[in-house]
Amino acid sequence: MVNFSRICLRKYGNFVDNLRLYVRGGSGGMGLPRLGGKGGNGGDVWVVATKNLTLKMIKDRYPQKRFVGEAGSNSSVRALKGENGKDKEVFAPVGITVTTDNGRIIGDLNADGDRLLVAKGGSGGTSYSGFEPSKGQAKQIRLDLKLIADLGLVGFPNAGKSSLLTALSNATPEVASYAFTTLKPQIGKLMYGDYKQISVADLPGLIEGAHMNKGMGHKFLKHVERTKQLMFVVDVCGFQLASKTEFRSAFEAVQLLTKELELYKQELVSKPALLVVNKMDLPDAEDRLTELQEQLQNPEEFSDLLPADMIPKNYLTFRHVIPVSATTGFGIDHLKSCIRQSLDEGAAEESEAAHQEKLQALRHQQHL
């Protein structure tokens, strides 16, 4: 039997997950016409992934949010080749996507030490340019943080995600009977007896239309992209967001969540997924669970329960369906075991896929 310790949850105060910066490469130095001297090149601007850093720290440390490379030195009689200007490094958290203002992706920084050139320095003056230097590139860029976690919790408001984390741990996220109690992402570490650690991202609740940026919309969905697996959390008795919105059964909630992910980015629904059916302490919960399990066996037969435009292209097959009660603790230990098993299986599959890919590459080389 695996021994579990508590999850340690880190909450983010004043969480910042997007930052706009002005970056400019340094100007080149003047050339020296009468001696054919070359000016130094201006310094480049790089974004460098660094551990233990947050976007809020950058925002607080550099309120102007301007990063400029050093100018190249002019050519002179004493130094015909002017020195290049120093590069400027912008240190940023791991898990950053760097984009232009219009959303074009410049690149991703997924590991400590990853570097990305965001603004090239200007060239020094030479005979080819009439000894005139060029200015460095100047642009606005965005640093967009997408949390990296093993498991991402996906659920509509009031599904009990925060209560579930409280049951799994000694953390105390806000729990209440109103929507959007979780407004900022939280990362937890689930510690196992053999020192294995699994990170869990508790993310703001989705609503119908999230793919169109309703509710927390894209602020939520972008964080799902970098989780290895998904953990859907639904209320066994269904939910109703507000008095003017329709009541949704647990089955409808599962399919609507699937559709929201699918509409935002098709690849999301190809991730391995677990389904946690919460609030098993409620009256009629067992009957509702049996009904849900039957519906999940043959989802096509129950598609008429959903609006036509919200039927998923592909119904998800869950690796585990785990009934729990975050209030009483029922099923929590079993859930921990299933999380570990699913992630271990996923790691083994990835390893096997990488091995097969290497074999294919070797065979291809042998045929050349």
Predicted confidence (pLDDT) per residue in 251-307, tens digit: 999 998 898 888 878 888 889 999 999 999 999 999 999 999 999 999 999 988 888
Instruction: Give residue for tokens 């509509």.
Output: 156
Cα(275)–Cα(364) distance, rounded to whole angstroms?
A: 41
At 116, list the tokens. 């990305």
Per-residue pLDDT reduced to its tens digit, 6-49 = 334 433 445 677 899 999 999 999 999 999 999 999 999 999 99
Domain covering 18-145 in this structure, CATH number:
2.70.210.12
Q: What percent of the chain has pLDDT over 90?
A: 49
**pLDDT of 157 over the 60 cut:** yes
DSSP of 67-88: EEPPPPPPP-SS-SBPPPPPPE
Domain boundaries, the chain: 18-145, 147-351
**pLDDT of 118 over the 60 cut:** yes
What is the pLDDT at residue 54?
83
What is the pLDDT at residue 206?
59
**pLDDT of 210 over the 70 cut:** no
Of the listed ranges 44-53, 92-101, 141-150, the one predicted with least confidence? 141-150
Nearest to 203 by CA among 216, 191, 213: 216
pLDDT tier at 56 (50, 70, 90 boundaries)?
confident
Of the listed ranges 64-68, 83-87, 198-202, 318-322, the one predicted with least confidence? 198-202
Nearest to 253 by CA among 218, 286, 279: 279
For residue 28, which amino acid is it?
G
For residues 205-231, average pLDDT = 61
What is the pLDDT at residue 128?
94
For residues 179-195, average pLDDT = 61
At 252, list the tokens. 């409808």
Interacting residues of 327 by C-beta distance below 8 A, sequence separation 6+: 163, 167, 279, 281
Mean residue pLDDT of the chain comes to: 83
Q: In degrees, to the nearest 5, what angle opens at C-alpha 319 toward C-alphas 318 and 325?
A: 80
**pLDDT of 310 over the 60 cut:** yes
Is CATH 3.20.20.100 what the domain over 147-351 is classified as, yes or no?
Answer: no
Cα(295)–Cα(352) distance, rounded to whole angstroms?
A: 33
Provide the H-helix boundaries in 71-225. Answer: 161-168, 217-224
How many Cβ atoms from other residues are within 10 Å of residue 366's Cβ? 7
Q: In degrees, to the nearest 5, what angle opens at C-alpha 359 toward C-alphas 357 and 363?
A: 120
What is the pLDDT at residue 279?
95
**pLDDT of 181 over the 60 cut:** no
φ, ψ at 53 (rounded to 5°): -135, 145
CA distances from 78 to 41, 75, 81, 82, 133 (A): 18, 8, 9, 9, 19
Cα(179)–Cα(235) distance, rounded to whole angstroms?
A: 13
**pLDDT of 1 over the 60 cut:** no
